[in-house]
Amino acid sequence: MSKLVLGLGSNQGNSREILKDAISSLDKKFGPYSEISKLFQSESFGHIPQPDYLNLCVVYEVNNKSPHDCLQLCQQTELSLGRVRLEKWGPRTIDIDILFFDDIVLEDTDLILPHPHINDRSFVVEPLSQLSIFSNLKLFYHFNDTFTTKSTCIGFL
């Protein structure tokens, strides 16, 4: 079994429901999640004014799937929930990022692992830090604990 750690976010439409739908879709692709963080609200960043994001992290234990297989399944889920890629850092109905896949380090044109922007984002590190896997991840990855923007825990999904 491989540990797949995902970060999910949404700031368009009914974000809470979209995140629930994303989790449901991912459960069908990967099996039921093994752990999920609480939900965090954070200000958007980038040059485009947009609504706040809702974010969470989730862990799946996957069999017989490569990181690229998982990326394809995550992108299928994004498309099925209305994700349109118009501009970088733009608003989105759903964003699903692979943060970690076991302790694999990978860099190619489609996928970089661990995700290269984890330490730039409180909305990733804060929910990630709630997961039991976090202590194991800290053994091979240094996490930032200071950010220019903060995320606020708003409870469970």
Domain residue ranges in the chain: 2-155
Asked if 77 and 22 count as a contact pair (C-beta separation under 8 A), the reply is yes
Asked if 55 and 64 count as a contact pair (C-beta separation under 8 A), the reply is no
Phi, psi of 5 (to 5 degrees): -110, 120
Please name the residue that has the structure tokens 């490569």: 66
Going residue by residue through the chain, which has 157 residues, state the pLDDT in tens, using 9 for 90 and above.
999 999 999 998 999 999 999 999 999 999 999 999 999 998 887 667 888 999 999 999 999 999 999 999 999 999 999 877 666 666 788 999 999 999 899 999 999 998 888 877 778 888 998 999 877 776 666 666 766 667 888 999 8
Cα dihedral 119→12→98→48 (10° resolution): -40
Strand partners of residue 2? 62
Write the CATH number of the domain with boundaries 2-155: 3.30.70.560
CA 51 to mean position of chain CA atoms:
18
**What token pair was written down for 147?**
């950010």
CA 157 to mean position of chain CA atoms:
14
pLDDT at residue 136, as a whole number? 74
Please name the residue that has the structure tokens 């501009």: 87
